């Protein structure tokens, strides 16, 4: 008996911790989104918060903004990430003697920088009086501060997109690089034997091979930026705000009746991320992302 | 006397199945191994020999049966406390410890003092010829050297039984022979009981006092190398030991007639009438023209000639059967592939069995 | 492609440099500027006043200390939770292993702040808000999955034969763990620890919700400055913050290298490092 239950006992601490702290919190939030506040005597469950939420224009504008920002962030970081991976690839090719490790460490720098710092970097770079604006002025391409577009704390969300593009591109590159380095070498020779030129090689072999990893990486960035708080809080505007910020604004608004609404936003957010997570899992299994090329 | 007694040890597959034949990973095994004996478990992959070894070690839990050493019942004793030692195919030397720390590890677990155990380790390393390597690390040694250290590590704590799971399979042939000699010498010096698993017939023959031939999760026959080779109990055992000349036939009134009609001769032994298989060892066949008493002439065409060490082994096609025999080099020079050849089978040296 | 490898590599190198390094330029310049008005590309006057402010303020070092301390405790707890769990999944056949994996990896999919906002009032009632303990508890969920994954991957490369060999040499469970398992898992544990520390250091929202402004970690201290305060000070704090994060990672990396080097040293120095 002892032997049979040993593995479950070993799993217990970790599982219990997550269940209590994490799922407990989600469940707690769920109850509160139904208006369950025993501390102040509210013990009836109702869908009032959800009702208010789904009928509020600001919620849908938040949703739209969040989707837009997440989509742009993931696409931009996907493109830049691919370019970085290719750039690293070429660097590795030509500098076989010097350690490739230096480049690898360097391009991972954005990954280790905390989000708020990355956000502030974008502030310093892209505000109308920012660094990029000054460089453009030095070249004579713009005349005054207001000639530079509003990219930070803008209602469209460009500041957020730029920050995530910078910060997450290395992540995409990190997922792509191993695939790229495995493709080259013997596979290139094999395709040469079959008469494939450079471009054909890229089109027929390279692109399909990195597609799954690329898609997954992009998707992960999408899910992450969809539900992130720090950067949009710093670089967004008060209205409209992305969903996590919207939820926070409601939670800290001071009006008690806003609390269940805030938590309802959270629940909807959780549901969306779970759904997206399942989709990612399904596709990663189907495409056998990590197998085959090793 | 601390004999190792394996009493009806068995192991089934994990899934709960009705108790039928198919559910056994290892059928009940009963063996008694004398103290200081070198005992081999010989068989093809998947025959259950490693399973049996691990059951004896305690690394696998048996579904039935007992293990005794001397008067101690070790069946429910965990492997750490059985005082056995084991050497695997890979040396499994702990990479972050020096050679002498590796060798001394077993003693450390027995709470032996540092000075004492390092001295014991050093002495053992000398026995295996590696006393210079004490302060090196495993990755600095070759495969053969590592395996010698593994052997030293196993022996230093004076184990009751030394278990070995195909320890030389990963080594080059030349090295393998060296290691066999080392093992043999050490085993006799220390009088350690060894339970040795291998699929290599020659290895088992060279090292063992007794051998157990296994196949398909079952013990087939136990005996010394010579007993097994000269008197196999089943055709399965015979063919595993490399005896390919097996003829089916019937014995009547002291006369054996093979089914294909190739051999018809009087049989020296007293055997009841019935169907039998006749096993002819290659050494029992001579290349000769003249008839001899007690020998049966067989004619065939030479199909294959392979050079061994100082002799030739031939495969001769007799029409229905491919006979393997051994001839001297001068005899081989008188014939060639495709040539007819006359052979004589010594009826004193053939063996009959039923299955 | 093959024709101009040198040119392309140079181009790639420059592009990479621009992408990674250039963004730090305004940050560094701003932190050492006295006044930096548009459209100057370089500050008109330099000064270390921002750094003096940041480095001399007691609150700075308090925040650094608390941030690292929290990260350390969270990581230690993660190791204690992840090791047995990884052992269970790798060495035993567990029914419902998919369920466990779904549970433990959930915080990677579902943003942790959702759970923290939900549990906030409960923490309040339990007296966990405004305490370091509360913040530590809140940091565990976002970091544990990464530690678990790193340890699990490392564990899978340790075949059972090693532990079997140790057992046959007489090693019981605990000595086996220290002599065989742990040394093998160390790189994996360190990889997990790096992620754990990094993620803990970069938490803002959940630290703020639970800490309620009383537990002041670096990001909490930093935020007012970056959201419209003195740019010089904000830059200095940002650089300090980034430096701490990088230092923590480099530190752990170096510790691992040193561990391996120490173990290769001759063993007659008595103590040595106990693997």
Confidence (pLDDT) at A267: 94
* Domain B4-237 and domain B243-353 have a common topology: no
Contacting residues of B for C172, CB less than 8 Å apart? 80, 109
Domain of residue C140, CATH code? 1.10.3720.10
- A234 interfaces chain C, CB cutoff of 8 Å: yes
Interatomic CA distance for residues A145 and A132, integer angstroms: 11
Contacting residues of A for C114, CB less than 8 Å apart? 25-26, 29, 266-267, 269-270
Residue C241 forms part of a structural domain: no
Average pLDDT over residues B155-163: 92
Average pLDDT over residues A165-181: 88
- Flag whether pLDDT at A79 surpasses 80: yes
Confidence (pLDDT) at A166: 92
- Flag whether pLDDT at B17 surpasses 60: no
- pLDDT band of B261, cuts 50, 70, 90: confident
Residue C238 forms part of a structural domain: no
Interatomic CA distance for residues B198 and A94, integer angstroms: 50
Domain B4-237 has CATH 3.30.2450.30: no
- A8 interfaces chain C, CB cutoff of 8 Å: yes
Torsion of the alpha carbons at C94, C95, C97 and C98, rounded to the nearest 10:
160
Confidence (pLDDT) at C273: 34
**Beta carbons of A135 and C88 less than 8 Å apart:** no
What is the DSSP code (8-state) at residue A35? T
Interatomic CA distance for residues C167 and A70, integer angstroms: 53
Average pLDDT over residues C118-129: 91
Question: Which subunits sit against A, judged by 3+ Cβ pairs under 8 A?
Answer: C
Contacting residues of A for C3, CB less than 8 Å apart? none
Interatomic CA distance for residues B226 and B241, integer angstroms: 11
Residue C260 forms part of a structural domain: no
- Flag whether pLDDT at A196 surpasses 90: no
Domain borders along chain B are 4-237, 243-353
Structure ipTM: 0.85
- Flag whether pLDDT at A73 surpasses 80: yes
Residue C121 forms part of a structural domain: yes
Which tens digit of pLDDT belongs to each residue from A253-286?
Answer: 878 778 889 999 999 999 999 999 888 888 777 7
**Beta carbons of A11 and C88 less than 8 Å apart:** yes
Tokens representing A253? Answer: 């608004």
Class of domain A58-286: mainly alpha
Min mean pLDDT across A92-101, B71-80, C60-69, C95-104 is at: A92-101
Contacting residues of A for C201, CB less than 8 Å apart? 114
Burial of B316 (0-12, 13-18, 19+ CB in 10 A): buried
- pLDDT band of C62, cuts 50, 70, 90: very high
Which tens digit of pLDDT belongs to each residue from B194-214?
Answer: 999 999 999 999 999 999 999
**Beta carbons of A29 and C27 less than 8 Å apart:** no
Confidence (pLDDT) at B159: 92
Domain of C95 in residue numbering reads as 59-217
What is the DSSP code (8-state) at residue A42? B
Confidence (pLDDT) at C169: 93
Fold classification of B243-353 is: OB fold (Dihydrolipoamide Acetyltransferase, E2P) (2.40.50)
Average pLDDT over residues B296-325: 86
For residue B247, what is the enclosing H or E element? strand B246-252
- A126 interfaces chain C, CB cutoff of 8 Å: no
Question: Which subunits sit against C, judged by 3+ Cβ pairs under 8 A?
Answer: A, B
Q: Rounded mean pLDDT of chain B? A: 88
Query: How many CB atoms sit inside 10 A of residue B66's CB?
Result: 14
**Beta carbons of C183 and B59 less than 8 Å apart:** no
Confidence (pLDDT) at A25: 93
Query: How many CB atoms sit inside 10 A of residue B122's CB?
Result: 16
Domain borders along chain A are 15-46, 58-286
Total domains present in chain C:
1
Burial of B190 (0-12, 13-18, 19+ CB in 10 A): middle
Residue C154 forms part of a structural domain: yes
- B310-314: long-range contacts, CB 8 A cutoff, minimum separation 24: B313/B282, B314/B287, B314/B341
Confidence (pLDDT) at B151: 94
Contacting residues of B for C180, CB less than 8 Å apart? 94
**Beta carbons of C112 and A22 less than 8 Å apart:** yes
**Beta carbons of A113 and C15 less than 8 Å apart:** no
* pLDDT above 70 as % of chain B: 97
- C275 interfaces chain B, CB cutoff of 8 Å: yes
Confidence (pLDDT) at C266: 35
- Please report the sign of the dihedral spanned by the C-alpha atoms of residue B59, residue B65, residue B69, residue B71: positive
Give C96→chain A minimum CA distance, Å.
10
For A118, residues 6+ apart whose C-beta sits below 8 A from its C-beta are A110, A163, A166, A167, A231
Residue among C89, C148, C249 whose CB faces A112 most closely: C249
Interatomic CA distance for residues A11 and C100, integer angstroms: 8
């Amino acid at each position: 008996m002892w032997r049979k239950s040993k593995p479950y006992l070993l799993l217990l601490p970790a599982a219990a911790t997550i269940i209590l702290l994490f799922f407990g919190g989600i469940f707690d939030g769920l109850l509160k989104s139904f208006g369950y506040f025993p501390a102040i005597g509210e013990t009836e469950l109702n869908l009032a918060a959800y009702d208010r939420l789904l009928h509020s224009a600001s919620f849908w504008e938040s949703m739209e903004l969040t989707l837009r920002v997440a989509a742009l962030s993931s696409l931009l970081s996907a493109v830049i990430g691919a370019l970085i991976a290719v750039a690293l690839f070429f660097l590795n090719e030509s500098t076989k003697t010097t350690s490739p490790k230096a480049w690898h460490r360097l391009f991972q720098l954005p990954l280790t920088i905390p989000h708020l710092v990355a956000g502030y970097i974008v502030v310093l770079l892209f505000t109308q009086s920012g660094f990029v604006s000054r460089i453009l002025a030095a070249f004579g391409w713009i005349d005054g501060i207001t000639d530079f577009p509003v990219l930070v704390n803008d209602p469209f969300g460009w500041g957020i997109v730029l920050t995530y593009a910078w910060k997450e591109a290395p992540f995409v590159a990190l997922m792509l690089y191993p695939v790229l380095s495995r493709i080259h070498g013997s596979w290139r020779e094999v395709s040469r034997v079959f008469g494939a030129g450079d471009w054909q090689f890229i089109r027929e072999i390279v692109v399909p091979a990195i597609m799954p990893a690329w898609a997954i990486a992009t998707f992960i960035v999408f899910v992450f930026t969809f539900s992130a708080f720090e950067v949009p809080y710093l670089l967004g505007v008060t209205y409209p705000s992305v969903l996590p910020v919207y939820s926070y604004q409601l939670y800290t608004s001071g009006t008690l009746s806003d609390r269940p609404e805030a938590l309802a936003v959270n629940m909807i957010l959780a549901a969306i991320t779970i759904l997206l997570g399942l989709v990612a899992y399904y596709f990663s299994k189907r495409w056998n992302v990590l197998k085959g090329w090793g | 006397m601390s004999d190792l007694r394996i009493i009806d040890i068995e192991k089934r597959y994990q899934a709960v199945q009705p108790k039928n034949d198919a559910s056994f990973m290892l059928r009940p095994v009963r063996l008694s191994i004398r103290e200081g004996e070198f005992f081999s478990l010989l068989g093809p992959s998947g025959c259950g020999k490693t399973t049996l070894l691990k059951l004896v070690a305690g690394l696998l839990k048996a579904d039935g049966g007992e293990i005794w050493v001397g008067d101690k019942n070790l069946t429910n004793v965990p492997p750490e406390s059985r005082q056995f030692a084991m050497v695997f195919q890979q040396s499994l030397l702990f990479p972050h410890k020096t050679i002498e720390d590796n060798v001394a590890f077993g003693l450390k677990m027995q709470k032996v003092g540092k000075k004492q155990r390092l001295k014991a380790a050093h002495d053992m390393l000398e026995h295996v010829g590696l006393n210079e390597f004490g302060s090196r690390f495993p990755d600095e040694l070759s495969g053969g050297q590592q395996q010698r250290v593994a052997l030293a590590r196993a022996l230093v704590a004076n184990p009751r039984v030394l278990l070995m799971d195909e320890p030389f399979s990963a080594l080059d042939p030349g090295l393998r022979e060296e290691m066999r000699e080392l093992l043999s010498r050490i085993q006799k010096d220390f009088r350690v009981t060894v339970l040795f698993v291998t699929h290599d017939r020659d290895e088992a023959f060279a090292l063992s006092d007794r051998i157990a031939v296994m196949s398909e999760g079952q013990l087939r026959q136990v005996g010394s190398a010579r007993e097994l080779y000269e008197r196999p109990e089943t055709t399965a055992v015979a063919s595993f030991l490399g005896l390919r000349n097996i003829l089916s036939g019937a014995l009547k009134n002291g006369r054996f007639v093979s089914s294909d009609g190739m051999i018809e001769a009087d049989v020296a032994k007293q055997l009841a009438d019935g169907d039998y298989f006749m096993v002819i060892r290659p050494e029992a066949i001579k290349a000769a023209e003249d008839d001899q008493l007690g020998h049966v002439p067989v004619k065939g065409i030479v199909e294959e000639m392979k050079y061994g060490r100082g002799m030739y082994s031939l495969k001769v096609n007799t029409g229905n059967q491919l006979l393997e025999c051994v001839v001297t080099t001068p005899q081989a020079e008188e014939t060639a592939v495709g040539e007819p050849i006359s052979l004589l089978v010594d009826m004193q040296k053939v063996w009959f069995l039923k299955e | 492609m093959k024709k101009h490898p040198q040119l392309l590599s140079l181009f790639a190198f420059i592009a990479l440099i621009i992408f990674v390094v250039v963004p730090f330029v305004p940050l560094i310049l701003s932190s050492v500027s006295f006044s930096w008005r548009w459209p100057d590309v370089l500050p008109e006057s330099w000064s270390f006043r921002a750094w003096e402010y940041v480095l001399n303020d007691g609150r700075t070092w308090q925040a650094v200390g608390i941030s690292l301390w929290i990260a350390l405790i969270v990581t230690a707890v993660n190791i204690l939770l992840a090791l047995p769990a990884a052992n269970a999944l790798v060495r035993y056949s567990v029914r419902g292993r998919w369920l466990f994996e779904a549970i433990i990896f959930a915080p990677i999919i579902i943003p942790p702040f959702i759970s923290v906002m939900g549990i906030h009032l409960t923490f309040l009632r339990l007296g966990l808000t405004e305490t370091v303990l509360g913040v530590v508890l809140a940091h565990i969920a976002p970091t544990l999955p990464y530690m678990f994954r790193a340890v699990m991957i490392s564990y899978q490369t340790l075949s059972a034969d090693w532990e079997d060999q140790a057992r046959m040499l007489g090693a019981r469970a605990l000595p086996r763990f220290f002599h065989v398992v742990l040394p093998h898992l160390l790189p994996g544990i360190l990889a997990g620890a790096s992620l754990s520390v990094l993620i803990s250091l970069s938490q803002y929202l959940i630290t703020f919700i639970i800490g309620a402004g009383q537990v002041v970690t670096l990001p909490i201290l930093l935020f007012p400055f970056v959201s419209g305060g003195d740019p010089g000070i904000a830059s200095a704090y940002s650089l300090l913050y980034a430096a701490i994060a990088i230092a923590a990672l480099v530190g752990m990396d170096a510790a691992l290298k040193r561990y391996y080097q120490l173990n290769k040293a001759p063993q007659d120095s008595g103590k040595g490092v106990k693997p």
